Amino acid sequence: MTTKMKAIQLNEYGPSSALRYEDVQRPVAGSGQVLVRVAAAGVNPIDWKFRAGYLKDMIPLALPWTPGFDFSGTVEAVGPDVTGLAVGDAVFGKSAFPGGGSYAQFVVVTPAEIVRKPAGVDHVHAAAIPAGALTAWQALFNDGALELAAGQTLLILGAGGSVGGFAVQLAKRKGARVIAAGRASQQAHLTALGADVFIDTALKNLSLAGQVDAVLDLVGGELQEQAWPQLKQGGAFVSTISPPSADQAATRGARITLVFTQTSAEQLAAVAKLVDQGAVKVQIAKTLPLEKAAEAHALLEAQGVSGKVVLTT
């Protein structure tokens, strides 16, 4: 059996061209670990932000580093002290920060980072679920986040990406009215997912949303600031990008939160069930072979993608 595998390596921080497709040592499952043969790896904005060095002061990487957190595949081996999983099981999941490792033919994870793959979807679609769905779920429903309830109106800023797509669907299932703000090219996509109202962010006129109970910000910056006048007194404002203004919150008696996505097998299993039932759709923007990881990063950095970019091994 070969001890090598193909993987994407980052040897130094830099542009997408810094990613290299190389032969590296194949990992081995230790005690309490599972070796997964990766069929597909989801590409997330956090991947290129790590690669570019935007997070190096807060979370320095041990270089060389294999990027990627989302994946779907089959169990290749289980280490000692692992129960409930067997070789050949189809699984998907999200590896913990900052380990990464899913841009490869094999990845080692713990059982807490994986769940059974939804039977009704292939590995490409399963790999597109974890980070986007978990971020949306935790922003919408976790204690201290939006705590979205039926009958409320939610404004989603930057709704066209993976997180936004899941957020639209999960919020609608909760019984909320959803206003999706994004690029004009994303309108049909977001309407198909269930958004009640679409706002073209290029118009710089979020007043079209009226007054809302909750804001989910997926872009930060100027658009985040523009959304404050739309929030009702006592509302909730959550961002996945940058802390919402404490001063603005104080004038409205609003609750603010910056969400950092956590791996949760329980929440991932709940999403998998919804996907299996056809209640939540997984949107694929583009599929590329693993060696084209640099192209995948460039697509995400251009910020014009509706849905998920997935790498296949």
Answer whether 306's CB lies under 8 Å from 312's CB: no
Q: Phi and psi for 70 in degrees, rounded to 5?
A: -90, 145
Q: Is the pLDDT of residue 307 over 90?
A: no
What is d(CA 11, CA 254) in angstroms, rounded to the nearest whole number? 44
Give the right CATH number for 132-258 from 3.20.20.30, 3.40.50.720, 3.30.450.40, 3.40.980.10: 3.40.50.720
Report which secondary-structure segment, H or E, holds 7. strand 4-10
4-129+282-312 has which CATH code?
3.90.180.10
Q: State pTM to two decimals.
A: 0.93
Judge whether residue 137 has pLDDT over 80: yes
In contact, 272 and 130? CB cutoff 8 Å: no
62 phi/psi in degrees, rounded to 5: -90, 100
Q: What is the mean pLDDT of residues 166-181?
A: 98
Q: Give the domain ranges of the chain.
A: 4-129+282-312, 132-258
Q: Is the pLDDT of residue 289 over 70?
A: yes
Backbone φ and ψ of 64, nearest 5° = -70, 150
Q: Which amino acid type is present at position 239?
A: S
Q: Which long-range contacts (CB under 8 A, 24 or more apart) does 193-202 make?
A: 193/165, 193/168, 193/169, 193/281, 193/283, 194/168, 194/169, 195/156, 195/159, 195/168, 201/157, 201/158
Residue pair 27/76 in contact (Cβ under 8 Å)? The answer is no
Asked if the model's pLDDT at residue 1 lies above 70, the reply is no
pLDDT at 302: 86
Residues forming beta bridges with residue 4, ordered by sequence position: 25
Report pLDDT digits (tens) over 239-249.
Answer: 999 999 999 99
For 250, phi then psi, to 5°, come to -65, -40
Q: What angle do CA 277, 278, 284 make, to 5 degrees?
A: 135
pLDDT of residue 186: 92
**pLDDT tens digits, 44-94:** 999 999 999 998 998 999 999 999 999 999 999 999 999 999 999 999 999
pLDDT tens digits, residue range 94-124? 998 888 999 999 999 999 999 999 988 999 9
Q: Please, which pLDDT band fits residue 304 given cuts at 50, 70 and 90?
A: low
pLDDT band at 2 (very low <50, low <70, confident <90, very high): confident
